[in-house]
């Protein structure tokens, strides 16, 4: 069996940076270390950090309920209010927000302050999107996650619109949704804030899925970017499977496959990817 592994599979820049920052704080070990919510959407990595003494500060909890310590803001970022609340509770904040996400925070803050209506393309329940919304300086903001929502969107005044996207949003959907919204005649400044790593990962996954008999997408069950990869690959390869570890992959018998492709989400460690790759080879 030929096994094709995507070059882009595995940790992205933002996740690597957040992990390196966290490991650095663990080494200092001058006191308690928290992450605001799970550092990344991968249970294996989070469990490993817990064994090293890192505690997860539950999202939307009262930071004063936790003894003072270092609180690491994960790559997804948080709202302005959450940041101020953690600081005000006597914790030391170490901001590991991905620079690409931080840029969106600044853009939304500046453009909303200038009186523009903000549209965010993304999953409203995802922590990154919640964080982006929390930097808007007005109530004039909407989150759009589906084409139907884009078609139903209405703006009842002549405000200019500034549009951004979750960094892991589907590239094709971004283009489609912007086209729908611009077709309504609004004055829209649409900025594609999907990070290049996401774009390259999605394009490579789509290409490989179109060349193989079966496709494996490795990622945490709560990982938004991994689910998007699965969605993209499923459109190109009907035999696409979503797994978290090599243990989840049990090929059906008989399995007449000559070529299998593998990709992985931005929060998937190299060791898991290697284990899946070896299992396929064997």
pLDDT in the model for residue 1: 80
% the chain with pLDDT above 70: 99
Judged against a pLDDT cut of 80, whether residue 30 lies above it is answered with no
**37 phi-psi bin (left φ>0, alpha ψ -120 to 50, beta other):** left
Q: What is the mean pLDDT of residues 249-261?
A: 82
pLDDT band at 278 (very low <50, low <70, confident <90, very high): very high
Quick one: 215 and 276 in the same domain? Answer: yes
* Phi, psi of 241, rounded to the nearest 5 degrees: -120, 140
Quick one: 74 and 115 in the same domain? Answer: no
Tally: H helices and E strands in the chain: 10, 12
**Number of domains forming the structure of the chain:** 3
Of the residues 62, 79, 96, the one at which a domain ends: 96
Quick one: 166 and 211 in the same domain? Answer: no
pLDDT in the model for residue 221: 84
Of the residues 96, 124, 155, the one at which a domain ends: 96
Quick one: 128 and 159 in the same domain? Answer: yes
Quick one: 70 and 40 in the same domain? Answer: yes
Quick one: 147 and 87 in the same domain? Answer: no
Quick one: 146 and 64 in the same domain? Answer: no
Q: What is the CATH number of the domain that holds 181?
A: 3.40.1010.20
Judged against a pLDDT cut of 90, whether residue 22 lies above it is answered with yes
Separation between Cα atoms, residue 282 and residue 280, nearest integer Å: 5
Quick one: which of 221, 228, 265 has its CA closest to 12?
265
Of the residues 171, 190, 209, the one at which a domain ends: 190
Please give the structure tokens belonging to residue 64: 């004063």
Range of the domain at 92: 13-96
pLDDT in the model for residue 281: 85
Q: What is the CATH number of the domain that holds 21?
A: 3.40.50.11270
Cis peptide before 19 (omega within 30 of 0): no
Q: Which of 2, 84, 128, 203 is the catalytic position?
A: 128
Q: What is the mean pLDDT of residues 274-280?
A: 93
Q: Is 68 exposed, middle or buried (0-12, 13-18, 19+ CB in 10 A)?
A: middle
Helix/strand/coil (H, E, C) string of 4-55? EECCCCCCCHHHHHHHHHHHHHHHHCCCCEEEECCCCCCHHHHHHHHHCCEE
Separation between Cα atoms, residue 122 and residue 160, nearest integer Å: 20
pLDDT in tens, 128-177: 999 999 999 999 999 999 999 999 999 988 779 999 999 999 989 999 99
Quick one: 184 and 114 in the same domain? Answer: yes
**Residue 98: count of CB within 10 angstroms of its CB:** 22
pLDDT in tens, 184-238: 988 899 999 999 988 999 999 999 999 999 999 999 888 888 999 999 999 999 9
DSSP three-state, residue 77: coil
Quick one: which of 218, 236, 226 has its CA closest to 274?
218
Quick one: 109 and 90 in the same domain? Answer: no
C-alpha dist (Å) from residue 75 to 93, 147, 245, 274: 13, 27, 23, 24
Quick one: 108 and 165 in the same domain? Answer: yes
Please give the structure tokens belonging to residue 119: 């549209």
In the residue annotation, 275 being an active-site residue is answered as: no
Quick one: 35 and 62 in the same domain? Answer: yes
Quick one: 183 and 118 in the same domain? Answer: yes
């Amino acid at each position: 069996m030929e096994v094709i592994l995507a070059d882009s599979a595995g940790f992205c820049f933002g996740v690597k940076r957040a992990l390196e920052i966290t490991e650095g704080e663990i080494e200092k070990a001058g006191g308690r270390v928290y992450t605001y919510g799970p550092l990344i959407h991968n249970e294996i990595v989070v469990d490993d950090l817990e064994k090293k003494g890192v505690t997860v500060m539950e999202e939307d909890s009262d930071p004063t309920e936790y003894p003072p310590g270092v609180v690491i803001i994960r790559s997804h970022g948080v709202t302005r209010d959450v940041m101020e609340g953690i600081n005000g509770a006597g914790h030391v904040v170490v901001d590991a927000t991905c620079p690409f996400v931080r840029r969106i925070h600044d853009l939304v803050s500046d453009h909303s302050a200038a009186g523009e209506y903000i549209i965010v393309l993304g999953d409203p329940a995802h922590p990154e999107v919640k964080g982006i919304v929390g930097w808007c300086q007005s109530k004039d903001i909407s989150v759009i996650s589906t084409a139907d929502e884009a078609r139903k969107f209405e703006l009842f005044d002549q405000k200019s619109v500034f549009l951004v996207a979750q960094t892991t949003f589907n590239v094709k959907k971004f283009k489609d949704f912007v086209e729908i919204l611009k077709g309504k005649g609004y004055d829209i400044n649409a900025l594609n804030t999907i990070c290049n790593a996401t774009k390259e990962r999605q394009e490579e996954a789509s290409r490989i899925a179109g060349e193989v008999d079966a496709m494996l997408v490795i990622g945490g069950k709560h990982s938004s970017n991994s689910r998007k990869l699965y969605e993209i690959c499923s459109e190109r390869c009907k035999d696409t499977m979503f797994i978290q570890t090599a243990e989840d992959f049990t090929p059906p018998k008989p399995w007449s496959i000559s070529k299998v492709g593998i990709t992985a989400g931005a929060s998937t460690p190299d060791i898991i990817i290697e284990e899946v790759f070896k299992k396929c080879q064997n």
